[in-house]
Amino acid sequence: MGIFLFAEQVLNGLQLGTMLFLMASGLTLVFGIMNLVNLAHGSFYMMGAYFAATLFKLTGSLVLAAAGAFVGVLVLGMALEIAILHSFYRRDHLDQVLATFGMILFFNELVRMVWGPQAYFLALPEALNGSVELIPGAPYPVYRLIVIVVGLIVALGLYLLISRSRIGMLIRAGASNRTMIEALGVNIRVLFTVVFGLGAALAGLAGTMAGPLLAVQVGMGDSILITTLVVIVIGGIGSVRGAFLASLLVGLSDTFGRMLLPASLAEMTIYILMAVILYRRPQGLFPAHG
Amino acid sequence: MAKSISPRAVLGLLLALALLALPPVALSLGEPFYIGLASRMLVFALAAMSLDLILGYGGLVCFGHAAFLGVGAYVVGILGHHAAEQTLLFGILPGTTSGWVTWPLAMLCAGFMAFLIGLVSVRTQGLYFIMITLAFAQMAYFFFVTLKGYGGDDGLSLSQRSTFSDLVSLRDKTTFYYVALAMAVLVGGGLVKVTRSRFGMVLRGIKENERRMLHIGIPTFRYKVAAFTLAGAVAGLAGALLANQTNFVSPAMMHWTRSGELIVMVILGGMGSLLGPAAGAVVFLTLEEVLSAYTEHWQIILGPLLILVVYFARQGLYGMLPRGGRADR
């Protein structure tokens, strides 16, 4: 394997990894703090992509489309949390899996009714459509680089938010002892709604960014949901740091698996990785609670 | 002595009569379609019961149960394919359509796969268990997707249904229905026996408090693996039946949403009751049939309905039945 090809694949792996992190951070936070398994997280990804595709068609601006989709999914997520999901926080995981499975069916069908069954393809504006030579002689698409940068910025932002801000402090406190932080007078309901909405919006952002790379279609959230679940399980459910490292690990292994392994094994790489890791460490790499 | 009869017993008797009378009634009404639908329900009832053994009794939420169904179906499909093409499997084994061979083999393969998956999975707990079983099912799914020799993504058509010497011909809808009914009743009855045995008691004990079971000297790991294996084998049988019912096998049978639907059937019916999940399968397929006749976007109704059921009927349909004079369990 040439050094150029290797570098390109590393970047592809990082791009997939940062995208997965956008999904995984929200999912793992919601699980870590609210103890909620949310299978509908993939639906937020899909809704983000559709919102962005529609807004892009209306305004022609990718930035406006991305911002609009972010806000749209934020509102959608918070509305769902207030209307339905908050009453499932204290139920067991099986109930949560089923209820959110019901939401997947609902959203997939809703999208099919509103936008139709055909796939959309988001065209990139000229400025983003080119390539740059990071290493002389090895052009790499600008857009994929932007995805990596956005992902890393979000990761840094989340790190600062969680470990440096007051909200982050409350989030961490809520994760380790919900009753205690309630007793201290923090309005935990509002905090939960905000965290849930933020996680949903990040999934929506991932969907928006996936738009120009993949087809925007019904059920697009289902397959990435499964991959995201693999990520948070490997990282240790509830741990954002674990989710970050596991995202990159999964992104890179999937990319290199597809390049190096025969087709039948390539699709399975990440699942084998997960099975091996869980066999060695049944709580994932970074168990959030001791 | 005025002994009150359990409403569940009455219901069971009525159910048995209805099941036996279904094909002649459907035929006399000129609606043979319902025989096929009912066969499908019986097959899924069997699959749901096998899942209930581990989910409802053992507390093992397996999110990859459809994979065992798929493997069982593929055993029938692949051997039938080789029989039709007159080629050899792995270069040594001739194909066959004989159900005497393929059905037990389907159970064996699915059971063995469940055994291997169980060895790894039951070490984990809670959400990790849900996810690792899902991961294994995804592996099986992608394995069959990439199996181009047997149709890959498109699946494989069966040229004929399984044969049982000259005893019964599954080509006849009514016969197939009764075979499916016999399987569901026999194997389902077997599962009921299992849950009432010492083995079943241990399994329930593990669900209630695994640590306690461990400390009174029960090797819980082995029990869980054994239950998982048994459930996988029964699901494999259901898969073999399903392949015969649809004359078709494809990786879509193992898609994770199929596993999700099996869990829905179990919960809808009421887990930990075997009969409940069987009824859950019937209700689920009926809903699918009724709603999809009403609108092609039936899932937009099914989704919220599911949320409502989870929210309000925590015990499932079985739990909503009034209990009889004696304690059932």
Closest approach of chain A CAs to the CA of B2, in angstroms? 41
Q: Is the pLDDT of residue B3 over 70?
A: no
| List of chain A residues whose C-beta atoms are within 8 Å of the C-beta of residue B120 | 275, 278-279
| Mean pLDDT value across residues B313-322 | 70
- Name which of A102, A109, A267 is nearest B297 (Cβ-Cβ): A109
Counting Cβ atoms within 10 Å, is residue B108 exposed (0-12), middle (13-18) or buried (19+)? middle
The distance between the two most distant Cα atoms of chain A, rounded to a whole number of Å, is 61
Give the pLDDT band (50/70/90) at residue B323: low
Give the pLDDT band (50/70/90) at residue A124: confident
Distance CA A165, CA A163 (A): 6
Asked whether the beta carbons of residue B305 and residue A283 sit closer than 8 angstroms, the reply is no
Q: How many CA atoms lie within 13 A of A187 on its CB side?
A: 3
Q: How big is chain B by its Cα radius of gyration, in Å? A: 20
Closest approach of chain A CAs to the CA of B14, in angstroms? 31
Averaging pLDDT over each range in A82-96, A165-179, A196-210, B4-18, which range is the top one? A196-210
- Quote the pLDDT of residue A251: 93
- Quote the pLDDT of residue A77: 95
B130 at interface of A, judged by CB pairs closer than 8 A:
yes
Q: Which of B93, B59, B316, B96 is nearest to B211 (CA)?
A: B59
- Quote the pLDDT of residue B326: 41
- Name which of B61, B120, B267 is nearest A275 (Cβ-Cβ): B120
- In tens, the pLDDT along A24-41 reads 998 988 888 888 889 999
- Name which of B63, B143, B298 is nearest A264 (Cβ-Cβ): B143
Percent of chain A having pLDDT more than 90? Answer: 33
- Quote the pLDDT of residue A29: 87
DSSP H helices, chain A, are 3-34, 41-59, 62-83, 93-115, 126-129, 142-164, 166-176, 178-183, 188-210, 220-235, 240-260, 263-266, 269-280
B282 at interface of A, judged by CB pairs closer than 8 A:
no
- Name which of B126, B127, B142 is nearest A267 (Cβ-Cβ): B142
Q: B302 near B288, Cβ under 8 Å?
A: yes
Q: Is the pLDDT of residue A112 over 60?
A: yes
Please, what sign has the CA dihedral across residues B150, B153, B158, B162?
Answer: positive
Asked whether the beta carbons of residue A264 and residue B124 sit closer than 8 angstroms, the reply is no
CB contacts < 8 Å between A and B, how many?
118
Closest approach of chain A CAs to the CA of B133, in angstroms? 9
Distance CA B117, CA B137 (A): 9
Q: Can you tell me whether residue B213 is helix, strand or coil? A: helix
Q: Is the pLDDT of residue B113 over 90?
A: yes
A112 at interface of B, judged by CB pairs closer than 8 A:
yes
Note which residues in 206-225 of chain A have CB less than 8 A from chain B. Answer: 222
Q: Is the pLDDT of residue B167 over 80?
A: no
Compute φ and ψ for A282, nearest 5 degrees. -60, -10
pLDDT mean across residues, chain B: 85
* Confidence check on the interface: ipTM exceeds 0.85, yes or no: no
| Mean pLDDT value across residues B234-245 | 93
Q: Is the pLDDT of residue B329 over 50?
A: no
Compute φ and ψ for B94, nearest 5 degrees. -75, 150
Amino acid at B42: L
Least confident of A63-67, A210-214, B63-67: A210-214
Give the pLDDT band (50/70/90) at residue B1: very low
Verdict on whether the full-model pTM lies above 0.80 = yes
- Quote the pLDDT of residue A116: 87
Asked whether the beta carbons of residue A99 and residue B263 sit closer than 8 angstroms, the reply is no
Give the pLDDT band (50/70/90) at residue A278: confident
Q: Tokens 């019916």 belong to which residue? A: B269
| List of chain A residues whose C-beta atoms are within 8 Å of the C-beta of residue B296 | none
Q: Is the pLDDT of residue B135 over 50?
A: yes
Q: Is the pLDDT of residue B114 over 90?
A: yes
Closest approach of chain B CAs to the CA of A154, in angstroms? 26
Distance CA A218, CA A221 (A): 8
Counting Cβ atoms within 10 Å, is residue A224 exposed (0-12), middle (13-18) or buried (19+)? buried
- Quote the pLDDT of residue B12: 75
Nearest-Cα residue of chain B relative to residue A97: B260
Q: How would you classify residue B318: left for phi > 0, otherwise alpha for psi between -120 and 50, otherwise beta?
A: alpha
Contact residues for A31 (Cβ-Cβ < 8 A; gap 6+): A37, A38, A232, A237, A238, B127
- Quote the pLDDT of residue A289: 54
- Quote the pLDDT of residue B149: 81
Q: A244 near B119, Cβ under 8 Å?
A: no
Which position has the higher pLDDT, B211 or B90? B211
Nearest-Cα residue of chain B relative to residue A279: B120
Percent of chain B having pLDDT more than 90? Answer: 31
- Quote the pLDDT of residue B322: 61
Asked whether the beta carbons of residue B307 and residue A84 sit closer than 8 angstroms, the reply is yes
Interface test with B, best of A271, A277, A279, A289 (most B CBs within 10 A): A271
Q: How big is chain A by its Cα radius of gyration, in Å? A: 19
- Name which of B61, B124, B257 is nearest A94 (Cβ-Cβ): B61
- Quote the pLDDT of residue A204: 95
B128 at interface of A, judged by CB pairs closer than 8 A:
yes
Least confident of A190-204, A274-288, B63-77, B237-251: A274-288
Which position has the higher pLDDT, B36 or A68? A68
- Quote the pLDDT of residue A91: 85
